[in-house]
Amino acid sequence: MKNLNIIVILFVYILDINQAYSRGDLTRQHPIEVEVLMKGLSGNAHYYEPSEFTFKTGNLYILKIKNVSDSKHYFSSTNFANSIFTRKIQLIKNDKKIAEIKGIIKEIEVFPNNSLEWWFVPIKTGQFNDVNCHIKDSKTGKTHSEMGMVGRIVIE
């Protein structure tokens, strides 16, 4: 019985240490997946679905950005980009990863029927109402933002 108690105490101790290390070691975090769809129809409306996002500092996220419309779109937010650490961007084609981009990312352009994954860790809190797409609609001449493609990001 005494040996069992020692084994249980050691197991709990080791488990607790591993959890402490994983909280401080971002390479051990399991990413939280969030999906955004870029939708719309030329001459009609363009929008993000969802258009509001909440992230927490210190957590690793994968923002899966999928363009399901007939137009290319930007996912642009200078304030958001300045408040995160980008680990990488993964380009996806036919459900396969075909490339990785590393470094500071300011905005992302996704062509029709394509997608990518933005891996990042928020490092600064804030509320950002500047998510937009500044592409001009081919039929109206208005920017996609003027036609409804705007969003909001909160980092807690």
Q: How many other CB atoms are found less than 10 A from the CB of residue 151?
A: 23
**Residue 3, domain member (yes or no):** no
pLDDT over 90, % of the chain = 76
**Residue 40, domain member (yes or no):** no
**Residue 74, domain member (yes or no):** yes
**CATH assignment at residue 125:** 2.60.40.420
**Residue 20, domain member (yes or no):** no
Residues in the chain: 156
**Residue 65, domain member (yes or no):** yes
Q: Which domain holds residue 144?
A: 50-155
Say if CB 40 and CB 71 are below 8 A apart. Answer: yes
- Kindly report, residue by residue over 39-54, the tens digit of the pLDDT: 999 999 999 999 999 9
- Give the pLDDT of residue 11: 60
- Kindly report, residue by residue over 80-109, the tens digit of the pLDDT: 999 999 999 999 888 899 999 999 999 999
Using CB atoms within 10 A of its CB, is residue 103 exposed (0-12), middle (13-18) or buried (19+)? exposed
**Residue 124, domain member (yes or no):** yes
Number of domains in the chain: 1
**Residue 29, domain member (yes or no):** no
**Residue 33, domain member (yes or no):** no
